[in-house]
Amino acid sequence: MRISGGVARGIPLVVPKGDAVRPATDGMRQAVFSSLGARVPGAHFLDLFAGSGSYGLEALSRGAAGGVFVEKNAKAAACVRQNIAAVCKCLGRDPSEHLALLEADALTVPLGGESTPDLVFIDPPYEIIPEVASKLFARLTEVLAAKPEALVVFEAPGEIELAPPGWTLRKRLGKGRGQPTVMFFRRDV
């Protein structure tokens, strides 16, 4: 698994052994970032259920200004820390500058620190999506109140349909049933 584009393209990412995480595939991340295009440079991101940090680090490699990774699994968080160091080294950037890793539960961590994110990446364990999706969107409605143009990028299996109140599905990438798909949501204003 590697960074698929931008300045840090080709940098390998460390993933915890076992089934603690299910990293987004290189192909899926390429499709997501092709769709995001000009929204990434200078953006601030929030990477919930970060796993290896692949979505946030891909954004960083492609010019994002900074962001916050949230991961509660200690082994996965250690991998995110290593991956941040590797990508920042390639970018010639201080890992502590405009980046943070919070070892916390994405459902309870205080969100909305110094800058409201432009992009929110959500890639939870698939089995908990029915339980957590509505809670996440309710929290993000508050967190993103100051930035109605912010996008939420949510990875889920193709058979899951999400229709959070107050949000509009703008685009969906992926092959459908039984395959990972990514949905792009924006708040209704």
Residue 133 maps to a domain: yes
Domain harbouring 105, CATH code: 3.40.50.150
- pLDDT at 27 (0 to 100): 74
pLDDT tens per residue, the chain (189 residues)?
888 888 988 899 998 876 656 666 767 888 899 999 999 999 999 999 999 999 999 999 999 999 999 999 999 999 999 999 999 999 998 888 889 999 999 998 877 666 789 999 999 998 999 999 999 999 999 889 889 899 999 999 989 999 999 999 999 998 777 788 999 999 997
d(CA 173, CA 113): 30
Answer for the pair 57, 84: CB distance below 8 angstroms, yes or no: yes
Q: How far apart are CA 32 and CA 21, in angstroms?
A: 19
CB atoms within 10 A of CB 6: 21
Query: Is 12 domain-assigned?
Result: no
What is the C-alpha to C-alpha distance for residues 1 and 29, in angstroms, rounded to an integer? 11
In a domain, 119, yes or no: yes
Structural domain contains residue 130: yes
Instruction: Report the 3 state secondary structure along the chain.
Output: CECCCCCCCCCECCCCCCCCCCCCCHHHHHHHHHHHHHHCCCCEEEEECCCCCHHHHHHHHCCCCEEEEECCCHHHHHHHHHHHHHHHHHHCCCCCCCEEEECCCCCCCCCCCCCCCCEEEECCCHHHHHHHHHHHHHHHHHHCCCCCCCEEEEEEECCCCCCCCCEEEEEEEECCCCCEEEEEEEECC
Rounded to the nearest 10°, the torsion over CA 166, 154, 67, 167 is: -10
Residue with tokens 């909305």: 112
Full domain range(s) for residue 164: 26-187
Q: Does residue 160 fall inside a structural domain?
A: yes
Report the candidate in 143, 86, 84 with the shortest Cα–Cα distance to residue 118. 143
3 assigned to some structural domain: no
For 186, the 3-state DSSP assignment is strand
Assigned domain for 113 exists: yes
In a domain, residue 11? The reply is no
**Number of domains within the chain:** 1
Per-residue model confidence (pLDDT) at position 23 = 64
